[in-house]
Amino acid sequence: MSELIEYIEDYFENRLDGEEKHLFEARCVKDESFARDVAFYIAQRKVLKEELLRQKVAFWTEGESKEGRGDHPAPIRKLKIRRWIPYAVAASVLLAVLLYFTQNSPSPRRLAGEYIATKYSHLSQTMDGSVDSLQQGIAAYNNKDYPKALLLFASLYKAHPGNRDALKYAGIVYLRTKNYVKALETFEELAHAQGMLSNPGLFLQAVTLLQRNAPGDKKLAKESLETVVQQQLEGSEVAAAWLHNF
């Protein structure tokens, strides 16, 4: 139980990174029990703040009344609150969660920007020590040499059309360099690729549309995210959380 409380507290104290925040919010949407825990935390934190304020006001008032008599005001009693109490009616608890996330939810475009910055600031390399074109491209990408990385990824995919990683990474380079037209074309090709166990193409199309933010892009992105969720494609958990911000 203490780990759950710490996890919830980490979210509200901004100690989670971008992707961890998205997963937290997605869990609030999918897991009713967890949503109730979060709502209770919100309610208890508010109660705690109000009680501490009440005690401070009482302390100051008592201090002013006793100052003339030379008495010492009584110290503020340590507030004791049970960590967990029986939950209130489910509807009111879930309402607290919805109110919090409605008031504090960032825009879909901001969510996409944070996702890109967190997820694709760095590409992971394999540990086998090989130095092929893909690994060279990843190394160039991580060194922010995007033109070289793109050349390596595109050349590799042209020579080996079955290398979906090269196609995906080429699209990510286009996305990072804000060439949204090419990024969308690349991710569309990826989305239609056959034989992949996990295909992020449609989700990355939605991310690109949200970042471009041209007229109509938000609507198209929402439709893509809905399809990702319905078909349980790669990125479905993040997509489910984002859809509540439209």
| CA–CA separation, 180 and 184 (whole Å) | 6
What the block records as the tokens of 58 is 């009482």
Place of tokens 């919805």: 98
What the block records as the tokens of 77 is 């009693």
| CA–CA separation, 36 and 28 (whole Å) | 8
Query: C-alpha angle 100/238/192, rounded to 5°?
Result: 150
| CA–CA separation, 116 and 178 (whole Å) | 11
Amino acid at 204: L
Tens digit of pLDDT at every position of the chain (246 positions): 578 888 888 888 888 887 788 788 778 777 777 877 887 777 777 666 666 666 666 666 666 565 555 555 555 454 444 444 444 444 455 555 555 555 556 789 999 999 999 999 999 876 544 558 899 999 999 999 999 999 999 999 999 999 999 999 999 999 999 999 999 999 999 999 988 889 999 999 999 999 999 999 999 999 999 999 999 999 999 999 999 888
| Contact call for residues 132 and 163 (beta carbons, < 8 A) | no
| CA–CA separation, 164 and 196 (whole Å) | 8
Check residue 39 and give its pLDDT: 77
Amino acid at 11: Y
Check residue 119 and give its pLDDT: 92
Report how many helices (DSSP H) and strands (DSSP E) the chain contains, helices first.
Answer: 12, 0
Check residue 73 and give its pLDDT: 54
Nearest to 111 by CA among 226, 211, 224: 211
Place of tokens 């919090």: 100
Q: Which class in CATH covers the domain with range 109-243? A: mainly alpha
Residue 180's contacts (CB-CB under 8 Å, 6 or more residues apart) are 174, 208, 211, 212
Check residue 28 and give its pLDDT: 79
Check residue 101 and give its pLDDT: 55
Check residue 33 and give its pLDDT: 79
C-alpha distances in Å from residue 209, one per residue of 10, 108, 182:
30, 10, 12
Query: 174: how many CB neighbours lie within 10 A of its CB?
Result: 23
Radius of gyration, CA atoms only, the chain = 25
C-alpha distances in Å from residue 100, one per residue of 5, 76, 103:
17, 30, 5
Among left, alpha and beta (phi > 0; psi -120 to 50; other), residue 116 is: alpha
Q: Where in the chain is the domain with CATH 1.25.40.10?
A: 109-243
| CA–CA separation, 113 and 175 (whole Å) | 11
Check residue 88 and give its pLDDT: 44
Residue 74's contacts (CB-CB under 8 Å, 6 or more residues apart) are 59, 62
